[in-house]
Amino acid sequence: MTLVQADEPTDAELVRQALEDRAAFAALYRRYLTPVYRYFYARTGDVQQAEDLTAQTFIAVLEGLSLYRERGTFAGWLFTIAARRLADHFRRRRPTVALTDVADLPAPDLLPEALAERAEQMARLAQV
């Protein structure tokens, strides 16, 4: 993925400039904003979540810019951070099951009397 045209500075040059002058980070931001947003939107399907994750990613990139080493590409480093943000996002959104949904599930191998007692216990629990 090369987003650099012949007359534009390379990512490495922009990183060096941004380390000296934070305002120079804007060029990296403009270069990668759309690809990072599309990455998140394609995986979440939600505009707001994609925007939030994009913002979080660029904040993390800016804060960690001094840790960047030219062992790979800047884009690879950036998208590694984006992938971690996405994983954190989905980890926080673990599915929850309503108590009423659990109460309706039949218990395996229970006699009708035990099922009735379980239903009463779940009803009392739901009231609490």
Residue pLDDT, tens place only, 52-76? 999 999 999 999 998 888 888 999 9
The answer to whether 91 touches 49, Cβ cutoff 8 Å, is no
Closest CA to 59 of 76, 36, 35: 36
Rounded-to-integer distance, Cα 90 and Cα 84, Å: 10
Give 25's pLDDT tier (boundaries 50, 70, 90).
very high
The two three-digit tokens of residue 15, written as one number = 């990183």
Rounded-to-integer distance, Cα 122 and Cα 66, Å: 55
pTM of the model as a whole? 0.67
Rounded-to-integer distance, Cα 126 and Cα 88, Å: 31
